């Protein structure tokens, strides 16, 4: 019989009868194949146990042979499967049926929704995360998640998986910009605005406000996670020089472009400290107290170790200002992702059991 539902699912009547031996019962045979020459049937058997009833199946192949007057069906061979084997057969059919509905060869991930677990068996974690992120971003899934009562652990797991995928995509975009020779400052300003986590876990999303006073506009204002006080970021072009070498004194020094940027942010820091000590005019929520500044400028992908040490030393002599290159920003983003992805990270037992935790909580970007 067929019941009218939205999906028009069909329901068949199943009969269970006692066998002549009285020891087991059997159900209505299921014809798997029937042609003019052969027939394949599945016969279920119900075997009583002290703990319940086991299901066993027998698959029988018949041949149709023509006697002198009419066709007869003769059993050719049979295969019996106990309950464990029958369940494996069922799961295998379900899994491969799902794969058959997809176009093309490749690696597929099939998740058993009834148990909420999946065995990925050596699959690339990046590929698994990306696949799950694509599934969870489907509109019908998003609508369900918005209304479903999910456990805190599941919500955190979903959020973490999607966030990690977004971070990888963002870092790939930044690397692509740099590799392609993109030097337009607005491109990097937009990237940093969307992905302020690359500057470390100390900051949350950037402010939309950029005007400190008439004529003074910063590239980015970022609130501290802990205090809420604002720091600022000034972006310059990747094609600008960062360090120059003084042959006479055998030392590196900041280029004119970096020196100008330092002077610029020095002015911004003074204005921000004065104007936002109790909140910016018209924006009282934006408060700054002894703010710090980060200048991002130039490239360092071809630097020698002594150049990296020189920048570290020069930065240590600055007060409240840090100069970094776009390659260092890229490396910092990659390091954050690596720390989130590493299998050696500890487990957050109290807040989110089963999720990875960074070795140092201060490095957690969200």
**What's the CATH number where 320 sits?**
3.40.91
Beta-carbon count within 10 A of 220 CB: 21
Q: What is residue 361's predicted lDDT score, i.e. its pLDDT?
A: 40
Provide the H-helix boundaries in 204-255: none
Rounded average pLDDT over 35-59 = 86
- Out of 56, 91, 126, pick the residue that ends a domain: 91
Looking at the chain, the whole-number percentage of residues with pLDDT higher than 70 is 66
Q: What is residue 294's predicted lDDT score, i.e. its pLDDT?
A: 95
| pLDDT tens-digit map of 79-133 | 888 888 888 888 888 777 777 777 777 767 666 655 555 556 666 666 666 666 6
CA-CA distance, 337 to 166, in Å (whole number)? 10
Integer distance in angstroms from the first to the last C-alpha of the chain? 54
Query: Is 313 inside any structural domain?
Result: yes
78 with 210, same domain: the answer is no
Q: What is residue 142's predicted lDDT score, i.e. its pLDDT?
A: 65
65 with 206, same domain: the answer is no
Strand residue runs (E) in the chain = 16-18, 25-27, 30-34, 38-49, 52-65, 72-81, 211-213, 216-217, 220-223, 230-235, 243-246, 251-254, 293-296, 321-324, 346-347, 356-357
Coil, strand or helix: which one is 91? helix
Asked if the model's pLDDT at residue 257 lies above 80, the reply is: yes
188 with 72, same domain: the answer is no
Query: Is 267 inside any structural domain?
Result: yes
Q: What is residue 33's predicted lDDT score, i.e. its pLDDT?
A: 85
Query: Is 146 inside any structural domain?
Result: no
67 with 193, same domain: the answer is no
Residue 30 lies in domain: 16-91
- Out of 39, 58, 91, pick the residue that ends a domain: 91
- Out of 27, 62, 91, pick the residue that ends a domain: 91
Query: Is 365 inside any structural domain?
Result: no
Specify burial of residue 92 (Cβ count, 10 A radius: 0-12, 13-18, 19+): exposed
Number of domains in the chain: 2
Query: Is 123 inside any structural domain?
Result: no
> Facing residues of 221 across strands?
232
189 with 321, same domain: the answer is yes
Tokens of 75: 């059993």
Average pLDDT over the chain, rounded to an integer? 77
Phi, psi for 142 (deg, rounded to 5)? -60, -40
Rounded average pLDDT over 273-281 = 70
191 with 332, same domain: the answer is yes
CA-CA distance, 366 to 161, in Å (whole number)? 12
Full 3-state SS string of 92-135: HHHHHHHHHCCCCCCCCCCCECCCCECCCCCCCHHHHHHHHHHH
Q: Is the pTM of this model over 0.95?
A: no
Q: What is residue 273's predicted lDDT score, i.e. its pLDDT?
A: 80
Are 97 and 105 in contact, with CB atoms under 8 Å apart?
Answer: no
Asked if the model's pLDDT at residue 148 lies above 70, the reply is: no
Tokens of 263: 């002077």
Q: What is residue 171's predicted lDDT score, i.e. its pLDDT?
A: 93
Asked if the model's pLDDT at residue 189 lies above 50, the reply is: yes
191 with 338, same domain: the answer is yes
Query: Is 114 inside any structural domain?
Result: no
Q: What is residue 161's predicted lDDT score, i.e. its pLDDT?
A: 62
Are 222 and 230 in contact, with CB atoms under 8 Å apart?
Answer: yes
Query: Is 364 inside any structural domain?
Result: no
206 with 69, same domain: the answer is no
Q: Report helix angle 152-179 to 326-341, nearest 10.
A: 150
Cα–Cα distances (Å) from 114 to 118, 127, 141, in that order, read 10, 23, 17
Q: What is residue 42's predicted lDDT score, i.e. its pLDDT?
A: 87
Query: Is 306 inside any structural domain?
Result: yes
| pLDDT tens-digit map of 297-341 | 999 999 999 999 999 999 999 999 999 999 999 999 998 888 877
């Amino acid at each position: 019989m067929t019941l009218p539902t939205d999906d028009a699912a069909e329901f068949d009547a199943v009969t269970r009868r006692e066998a002549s031996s009285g020891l087991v019962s059997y159900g209505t045979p299921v014809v798997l194949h029937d042609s003019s020459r052969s027939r394949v049937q599945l016969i279920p058997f119900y075997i009583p146990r002290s703990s319940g009833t086991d299901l066993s199946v027998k698959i029988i192949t018949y041949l149709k042979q023509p006697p002198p007057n009419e066709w007869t069906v003769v059993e050719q061979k049979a295969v019996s499967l106990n309950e464990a084997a029958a369940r494996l057969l069922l799961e295998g059919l379900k899994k491969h049926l799902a794969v058959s509905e997809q176009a093309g060869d490749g690696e597929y991930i099939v998740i058993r929704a009834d148990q909420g677990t999946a065995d990925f068996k050596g699959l690339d974690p990046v590929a698994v995360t990306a696949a799950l992120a694509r599934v969870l971003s489907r509109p019908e899934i998003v609508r369900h998640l918005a209304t479903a009562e999910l456990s805190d652990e599941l919500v955190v797991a979903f959020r973490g998986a999607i966030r990690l995928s977004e971070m990888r995509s963002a870092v790939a975009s930044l690397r692509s910009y740099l590799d392609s020779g993109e030097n337009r400052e607005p491109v990097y300003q937009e990237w940093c605005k969307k992905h302020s986590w690359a500057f470390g876990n100390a900051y949350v999303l950037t402010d939309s406000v950029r005007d400190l006073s008439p004529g003074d506009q910063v590239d980015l204002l970022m609130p501290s996670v802990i205090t809420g006080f604002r720091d600022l970021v000034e972006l310059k072009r990747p094609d600008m020089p960062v360090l120059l070498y003084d042959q006479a004194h055998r030392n590196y020094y900041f280029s004119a472009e970096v020196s100008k940027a330092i002077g610029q942010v020095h002015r911004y820091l003074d204005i921000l400290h004065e104007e936002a000590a109790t909140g910016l005019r018209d924006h009282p929520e934006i408060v700054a107290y002894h703010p710090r500044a980060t200048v991002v400028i130039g490239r360092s992908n071809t630097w020698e170790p002594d150049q990296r040490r020189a920048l570290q030393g020069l930065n240590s002599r600055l007060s409240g200002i840090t100069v970094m290159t776009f390659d260092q920003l890229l490396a910092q983003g990659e390091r954050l992702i690596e720390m989130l992805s590493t299998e050696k990270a500890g487990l957050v037992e109290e807040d989110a059991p089963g999720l990875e935790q960074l070795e140092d909580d201060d490095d957690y970007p969200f």
